[in-house]
């Protein structure tokens, strides 16, 4: 939030302020969606945003926004100008109602480590509507992405860095694409970003936004539809032959009771039979429901003809903005990660 200086009042509509004056005031009231990381936590960012204005100033801001939305703005002679002011005021109001109330947002997610240098990925998130959870960037994607270099020098070194390394990686349930784009940039691989057909437009957009950066770093990204358990029309031809990928990555993939079985089948269909092939998965432990879905996934992965077993696992602390943004405690999440492979 940019904030209003103490000696600077919000314009009064009864004074019929000019279009540029109102627009400038609305811009100063903008609340940026938080991006957290190793150096600053989500709760710290929210506290910093809240500290910009006093409680009285926040009430004044809401009253100002409400007055604009209710006003006919008749002194502005241009219909287009009135529409712009109403739209911006509505955006400022929604920004104060949590992530789920916001419209489209664009966030820049930073990465920095001596192993790979520093870069940022630009991710667009359309408005959240209905069950389109794939249009949001979840905290687990960022938490897993920030640890990719550790896996590359540890339990996945044989696939990422050795002379026998794989050149292609498949991401299932990519959502907005943050994890897969980070993997392409850090591991310098070709990463296939996949999700439901209705998610593809935004996923392809984010792939295009970051393609130049990824390629400068030695990686490559392609976006294509892949519906778990879907018909032939819902699966790109590149994935129909199956058993092709030696490395699959997945983050926060479980939201319904049928997801563990569907995901397990998709992994079994796409993971190579090579005993060195691996799946890297992260599932947030938000509550008993998500913990139960995680247990079910592990059980489902062990039921196939070529069952998968867990070689490495851990739970790491992280942050998410799953909720409405008003309760900082609810955003502290434990993220379970596991590396699984075919049993020999």
Residue 136: the pLDDT is: 80
Torsion sign over Cα 93, 141, 297, 317? negative
DSSP 34: P
Residue 179: the pLDDT is: 97
**Radius of gyration, CA atoms only, the chain:** 23
Residue 283: the pLDDT is: 94
CA atoms within 13 A on the CB side of 32: 16
Q: Are 121 and 107 in contact (CB under 8 A)?
A: no
User: Strands 117-125 and 105-113, how do they pair?
Assistant: antiparallel
CA 34 to chain centre: 12
Residue 184: the pLDDT is: 97
- The DSSP secondary structure of 199-244, one letter per residue, reads GHHHHHHHHHHHHHHHHHTT-EEEEEEB-TT--GGGB-GGGSS-S-
Question: ∠ at Cα 188 (310, 260), nearest 5°?
Answer: 30
Residue 191: the pLDDT is: 98
User: Strands 220-225 and 308-319, how do they pair?
Assistant: unpaired
Q: Are 77 and 19 in contact (CB under 8 A)?
A: no
Residuewise pLDDT in 10s, the chain (344 residues): 444 443 357 888 888 999 999 988 888 887 776 665 555 544 554 454 444 455 546 678 878 888 888 888 999 988 998 898 888 888 777 767 655 556 678 889 999 999 899 999 999 988 765 555 667 888 889 999 999 999 999 999 999 987 777 899 999 999 999 999 999 999 999 999 999 999 999 999 999 999 999 999 999 999 999 999 888 888 888 898 889 999 999 999 988 899 999 999 999 999 999 999 999 999 999 889 889 999 999 999 999 889 999 999 999 988 776 554 444 444 678 999 999 999 87
Q: Is 213 exposed, middle or buried (0-12, 13-18, 19+ CB in 10 A)?
A: middle
How distant, in Å, are the alpha carbons of 18, 78, 97, 323 from that of 83? 14, 9, 21, 31
CA distance 344 to 340: 12
Torsion sign over Cα 310, 258, 146, 197? positive
Residue 7: the pLDDT is: 36
- The total number of residues shown for the chain amounts to 344
How distant, in Å, are the alpha carbons of 29, 59, 68, 97 from that of 25? 7, 15, 12, 19
End-to-end CA distance of the chain: 55
Strand, helix or coil at 315?
A: strand
């Amino acid at each position: 939030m940019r904030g209003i200086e103490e000696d600077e009042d919000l314009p009064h509509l009864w004074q019929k302020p000019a279009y540029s004056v109102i627009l400038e005031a609305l811009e100063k009231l903008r609340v940026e969606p938080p991006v957290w990381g190793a150096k600053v936590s989500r709760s710290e960012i929210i506290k910093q945003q809240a500290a910009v204005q006093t409680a009285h100033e926040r009430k004044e801001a809401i009253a100002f926004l409400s007055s604009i939305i209710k006003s006919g703005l008749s002194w502005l002679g241009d219909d287009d100008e009135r529409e712009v002011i109403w739209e911006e005021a509505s955006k400022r109001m929604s920004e104060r109602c949590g992530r789920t109330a916001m419209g489209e947002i664009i966030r820049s997610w930073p990465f920095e480590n001596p192993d790979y240098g520093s870069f940022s990925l630009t991710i667009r998130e359309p408005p959240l509507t209905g069950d389109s959870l794939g249009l949001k960037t979840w905290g687990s994607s960022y938490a897993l992405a920030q640890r990719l270099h550790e896996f590359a020098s540890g339990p996945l070194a044989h696939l990422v860095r050795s002379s026998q390394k794989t050149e292609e990686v498949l991401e299932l349930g990519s959502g907005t694409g943050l994890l897969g784009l980070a993997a392409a940039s850090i591991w310098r691989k070709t990463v296939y970003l996949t999700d439901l057909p209705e998610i593809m437009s935004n996923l392809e957009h984010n792939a295009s936004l970051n393609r130049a950066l990824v390629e400068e770093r030695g990686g490559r990204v392609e976006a294509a539809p892949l519906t778990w358990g879907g018909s032939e029309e819902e699966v790109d031809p590149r994935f129909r032959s199956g058993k092709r990928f030696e490395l699959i990555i997945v983050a926060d993939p479980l939201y319904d009771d049928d997801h563990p079985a569907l995901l397990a089948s998709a992994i079994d269909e796409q993971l190579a039979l090579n005993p060195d092939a691996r799946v890297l998965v992260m599932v947030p432990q938000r509550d008993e429901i998500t913990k139960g879905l995680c247990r079910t996934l592990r059980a489902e992965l062990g039921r196939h003809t070529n069952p998968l077993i867990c070689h490495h696992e851990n739970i790491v602390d992280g942050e998410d903005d799953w909720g409405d943004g008003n309760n900082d405690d609810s955003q502290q999440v434990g993220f379970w990660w596991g590396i699984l492979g075919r049993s020999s």
